[in-house]
Amino acid sequence: MSNLSVPAAAPARSEWWADAVVYQIYPRSFADGNGDGMGDLRGIVARLPYLERLGVDAIWLSPFYKSPQADGGYDVADYRQVDPLFGSLADFDAMLQDAHSRGMKVIVDLVPNHTSDEHVWFQAALASPPGSPERERYIFRPGRDEIPGSGDGNRAPNNWRSIFGGPAWSRIPAADGSPGDWYLHLFDTKQPDLNWENPEVQEEMRSVLRFWLDRGVDGFRVDVAHGMVKEKGLPDWDGVAAMVEGTAGTRPGPTPPGDAPGAHTDAEEPHRAVSPVYPPSPFFDQDGVHEIYRDWHRVLAEYGSDRMMVAEAWVEPAERLALYVRPDEMQQAFNFDFLLAGWDAERLAEAVEASLAAAASVGAPCTWVLSNHDTVRHPTRFGLSDPTAFPKGIAADDEQPDAALGLARARAATLVSLALPGSAYLYQGEELGLPEHTTLPAAARQDPTFFRTRGAETGRDGCRVPLPWSGDLPGYGFSDRLNGQAAQPWLPQPESFGPLAADRQDGVEGSTLELYRAALAFRFAHKLGRGAVSWADVHAPDSGLLAFHNGDVLVLANMGFASAPVPEGYAVALSSGPEPAEEWTAMREVPVDYAVYLLRK
Ligand code: GLC
């Protein structure tokens, strides 16, 4: 790590997204407007004033499209319809208009790597013969022979594994009922991969972009943006062994709830899964994906310079990620290096430095993200004995976090991320300091990763628990009670949510909600999103102190083992600690697990 100033990544761009604070809504779990226990678009509308008051610039909605919900909606059956669970297109339009009238932009999720198996295209493919145009929209292949030369086709076409565990191929029956061809699904069996070499697929996704752009959306979060293009010939991959290492199932195999799809075609297989970032593979981060983004860039440009795309691409190193945000591709990419760094000054400093440098090399703004709907919430990760750990879900028989310690660190990490130049992404509920639900009963779990790995991975349900709006109401006010009645929230909430409910924190000095409000206001007032970072003299990551200047602000985050002095001439303007604001000016030391914003006296 150099001690030099990090490269100035002051976004040269004037567009709104260059420094936007974007709030991620996971629609199932944000707010329920019709009392069925499932969040929906009307629930979102009812809470827009809350988000406006929080001070975010934009909202990003995870998928709300028509879907059998085999993967929480990331299995899209119709890209142009709202699933009745969430409302209607008219509800979407009303939500968009309301958000816009409050000055908030709206980003929707685009899932181009795969459709649902219930999409009309996949249904048509199943009903059509091998080699037909219907089959060519997906990746169907004959199997390899188990008995060489027999033509039995009993082995999958290659050795790829699903990101959710189990094989990445499933076999379908031929027209005469005998075993037929196999199709590729990098995720669940109910998420067949599209064939991106097919011009019809390319044209369809352009048309989907235009459909939502015409309705007025401001941008797209592109799901699995490093997927889509596969290496020619679909070769076996020797990284498979590394992928599955250490993740063999140790718990008894769970049974999927109700008709939950997922684990059905591979029950006899070893149940394993992969880490979010892994070595170069023939199915991720192929150079050919960039052609798609150049194409989409042109589509967005038809609508002016204000529309944007943000890539969900788990790739390394930062220079590879920067390729996605070259001037003629996407506008942003999630900075997962920052998320993966944990509560560790050296790792964080390295992530900040490397990502600012990589983004600056292509003239793009950085993004900063600590939590999302796929990862254990950061107050929980930071409360583990190793605060850099990245578990794939936490169950009751795993190590349980120190909640108070984790929350203190999370609040401090949030001050760091909101003080960095570029765009910040917040995950719903982090402004309340919500922890992961770490004791969800197996019977309540819904994430296909839990089933496909036979419980080796606990999965992502624990970060998707419905939000607590009111400490005193049943379901903590998640559901609007129609006629005094409401169904149970779709996932059970832990008791720890009660005191963290939005209404218990509103107006309460020292609460996490008020800290977020204050930090967002401070970021805006001091234009931190448009600033540039240089390491401060006292920056000493090897002893746990992260310290940087951004404009007139000095940021100190103490991840070490002893208090750090407040440098001469400075006073605390905002602290992540619980002390009342009037005590800040007298603070001469930054305690361990605190972050502060300092201004010259
Ligand atoms: C992305 C989404 C995740 C989903 C997967 C498959 O990683 O964030 O929730 O399961 O893609 O679409």
Give the integer Cα–Cα distance in Å for 498 and 508. Answer: 15
Q: Which parts of 344-494 are beta strand (E)?
A: 367-369, 423-427
State the pLDDT confidence band at 263, using cuts at 50, 70 and 90.
very low
Give the integer Cα–Cα distance in Å for 25 and 13. Answer: 26
- For residues 272-280, average pLDDT: 62
User: Tokens 């992530």 correspond to what residue?
Assistant: 351
Q: Is 74 in the pocket of ligand 1 (CB under 6 A)?
A: yes
| Confidence (pLDDT) at 254 | 67
Give the integer Cα–Cα distance in Å for 190 and 115. Answer: 8
Task: Count the neighbouring beta carbons within 10 Å of the beta carbon of residue 180.
Answer: 19
Q: Is residue 288 part of a domain?
A: yes
Let me know whether 83 and 158 are in one domain.
Answer: no
| Confidence (pLDDT) at 274 | 38
Q: Is residue 2 part of a domain?
A: no
Q: Is 111 in the pocket of ligand 1 (CB under 6 A)?
A: yes
- For residues 264-272, average pLDDT: 37
Query: What's the number of CA atoms in the CB half-sphere (13 Å) around residue 67?
Result: 24
Let me know whether 101 and 128 are in one domain.
Answer: no
- For residues 222-241, average pLDDT: 94
Q: Is residue 541 part of a domain?
A: yes
* pLDDT over 50 at 4, yes or no: no
Give the integer Cα–Cα distance in Å for 266 and 576. Answer: 48
* pLDDT over 80 at 264, yes or no: no
For 269-395, where are the alpha helices, taking DSSP H only? 289-301, 318-322, 336-341, 345-361, 378-381
Let me know whether 81 and 172 are in one domain.
Answer: no
Choosing from 137, 160, 184, the residue where a domain stops is: 184
| Confidence (pLDDT) at 279 | 82
CATH of the domain at 307: 3.20.20.80
**CA 527, 549, 332, 65 torsion: positive or negative?**
negative
Alpha-carbon separation of residue 42 from 63, 96, 123, 514 (angstroms) = 15, 11, 32, 25
Let me know whether 168 and 270 are in one domain.
Answer: no
Q: Is 71 in the pocket of ligand 1 (CB under 6 A)?
A: yes
Give the integer Cα–Cα distance in Å for 534 and 41. Answer: 42
| Confidence (pLDDT) at 256 | 53
Q: Establish whether 223 is a catalytic residue.
A: yes
CATH of the domain at 540: 2.60.40
Q: What spatial distance separates the first Cα and last Cα of the chain, rounded to whole Å?
A: 31
Which long-range contacts link 470-473 to residues 24+ away (Cβ below 8 Å)?
470/501, 470/502, 470/503, 471/498, 471/499, 471/501, 471/503, 471/504, 472/503
Q: Is residue 522 part of a domain?
A: no
Alpha-carbon separation of residue 76 from 23, 402, 470 (angstroms) = 22, 38, 32
- For residues 224-252, average pLDDT: 77
Residue 236, token pair as written in the block? 């076996």
Give the tens place of pLDDT for each residue, 483-518: 678 789 999 999 999 999 999 999 999 999 999 999
Let me know whether 496 and 469 are in one domain.
Answer: yes
Q: Is 223 in the pocket of ligand 1 (CB under 6 A)?
A: yes
Let me know whether 72 and 169 are in one domain.
Answer: no
Query: Is 419:550 a contact under the CB 8 Å cutoff?
Result: yes
Q: Is 273 in the pocket of ligand 1 (CB under 6 A)?
A: no
Ligand 1 atom closest to 188 (CA): 6
Let me know whether 346 and 448 are in one domain.
Answer: yes
Q: Which SS3 state, helix, strand or coil, does residue 84 take?
A: coil
Q: How far is the CA of 109 from the centre of ligand 1 (A)?
A: 10
Give the tens place of pLDDT for each residue, 204-229: 999 999 999 999 999 999 999 999 99
Task: Count the neighbouring beta carbons within 10 Å of the beta carbon of residue 249.
Answer: 18
Give the tens place of pLDDT for each residue, 27-72: 999 999 999 999 999 999 999 999 999 999 999 999 999 999 999 9
Residue 88, token pair as written in the block? 């209607």
Residue 564, token pair as written in the block? 């750090």
Q: Which SS3 state, helix, strand or coil, does residue 280 take?
A: coil
Q: How many domains does the chain have?
A: 3
State the pLDDT confidence band at 261, using cuts at 50, 70 and 90.
very low
As a whole-number percent, the residues of the chain with pLDDT over 70 amount to 92
For the chain, give the mean pLDDT.
Answer: 93
* pLDDT over 60 at 8, yes or no: no
Let me know whether 376 and 312 are in one domain.
Answer: yes
Give the integer Cα–Cα distance in Å for 335 and 323. Answer: 13
| Confidence (pLDDT) at 275 | 55
Q: Is residue 513 part of a domain?
A: no
Let me know whether 297 and 179 are in one domain.
Answer: no
| Confidence (pLDDT) at 12 | 59
| Confidence (pLDDT) at 586 | 93
Residue 262, token pair as written in the block? 């997922």
Give the tens place of pLDDT for each residue, 70-103: 999 999 999 999 999 999 999 999 999 999 999 9
Q: Is residue 6 part of a domain?
A: no
Give the tens place of pLDDT for each residue, 556-576: 999 999 999 999 999 999 999
Q: Is 188 in the pocket of ligand 1 (CB under 6 A)?
A: no
- For residues 408-414, average pLDDT: 98
**Is the peptide bond between 317 and the residue preceding it cis, with omega within 30 degrees of 0?**
yes
| Confidence (pLDDT) at 243 | 67
Give the tens place of pLDDT for each residue, 357-388: 999 999 999 999 999 999 999 999 999 999 99
User: What DSSP letter does each residue of 495-532 carry, written as one string?
Assistant: GGGGGGSHHHHTT-TT-HHHHHHHHHHHHHHTTGGG--
Let me know whether 466 and 422 are in one domain.
Answer: yes
Give the tens place of pLDDT for each residue, 316-357: 999 999 999 999 999 999 999 999 999 999 999 999 999 999
Considering 40, 117, 134, 223, which one is annotated as catalytic? 223
Q: Tell me which residue range forms the domain holding 132.
A: 120-184
Q: Establish whether 302 is a catalytic residue.
A: yes
CATH of the domain at 131: 3.90.400.10
Let me know whether 477 and 566 are in one domain.
Answer: no
Q: Is residue 283 part of a domain?
A: yes
Q: How far is the CA of 22 from the centre of ligand 1 (A)?
A: 18
| Confidence (pLDDT) at 576 | 98
Q: How far is the CA of 223 from the centre of ligand 1 (A)?
A: 6
| Confidence (pLDDT) at 255 | 59
H or E segment at 82? strand 78-82
As a whole-number percent, the residues of the chain with pLDDT over 90 amount to 89
Let me know whether 266 and 137 are in one domain.
Answer: no
* Residue 71 burial class via C-beta count within 10 angstroms: exposed 0-12, middle 13-18, buried 19 and up: buried
- For residues 411-415, average pLDDT: 98
**Where on the phi/psi map is residue 379: left (φ > 0), alpha (ψ -120 to 50), or beta?**
alpha
Q: Is residue 103 part of a domain?
A: yes
